[in-house]
Amino acid sequence: MAIHLEANYSKKLGLPGYSSHQYLVTIKTEVTDLTQAQTESSRLYDLLQSCVDRDIQKTGYLPHGPGNGNGDQNNRPSNDKDRTEGWACSAKQKDLITKIVEENRLDKNQVEALAQDRFGKSVRALNKLEASGLIEELLSQTGGNANGNQRRRFGGRTNPAGTR
């Protein structure tokens, strides 16, 4: 009586630019003796693991080129150049945070304290998700909206900035 074994091994790796790749190998075989099943299973696992581990190192196409976009300053997407100046969030987020602080004449020390209180790190060290949270908090404190259009209140009405 033949015993059919099917073994597969899969590995998924996270890659830069919110990308990932996965590799799966499956082998089907048969053994004629039940006592061979455990030995054959171990052999297949070892074989599959070594094949997948060797081959998954070839990352292939990356959405943002060969650089990782998360610290590799030589292969950075052009819109993230400001990260080389010490900001961990996107260039657009950095610009918006700076704009909110400047237009509302916010105390930079208080903004730093807010970042430390909410995220346990400085404004420049905030990642994209944390920077979004800080932006939302700053906009709510200053009466702005999420589109970056600052609004000021006049006599109970809300008018766009510059409208009088």
- pLDDT surpasses 50 at 74: no
- In the block, tokens 């080389």 appear at 84
- Mean pLDDT, range 5-28, rounded to an integer: 83
pTM attached to this predicted model: 0.41
Q: What is the pLDDT of residue 151?
A: 43
Average pLDDT, the chain: 76
72 vs 139, residue with greater confidence:
139
- Mean pLDDT, range 12-24, rounded to an integer: 76
Please name which of 3, 11, 54, 55 lies closest in space to residue 32, comparing C-alpha atoms: 3
Q: What is the pLDDT of residue 73?
A: 37
Cα 38 to Cα 3, 5, 7, 49, 162, distances in angstroms: 12, 10, 12, 16, 77
- Mean pLDDT, range 10-33, rounded to an integer: 83
The 10s digit of each residue's pLDDT in 75-112 is 444 444 434 368 999 999 999 999 999 999 999 999 99
- pLDDT surpasses 50 at 66: no
**% the chain with pLDDT above 70:** 69
The conformation of residue 66, written as its DSSP 8-state character, comes to S
Q: How confident is the model at residue 8 (pLDDT cuts 50, 70, 90)?
A: very high
β-bridge mates for residue 30, sequence order: 4
Q: How confident is the model at residue 63 (pLDDT cuts 50, 70, 90)?
A: low
Residues 6+ apart with CB under 8 A from 10: 22, 23, 24, 25, 52
- pLDDT surpasses 50 at 9: yes
**% the chain with pLDDT above 90:** 28
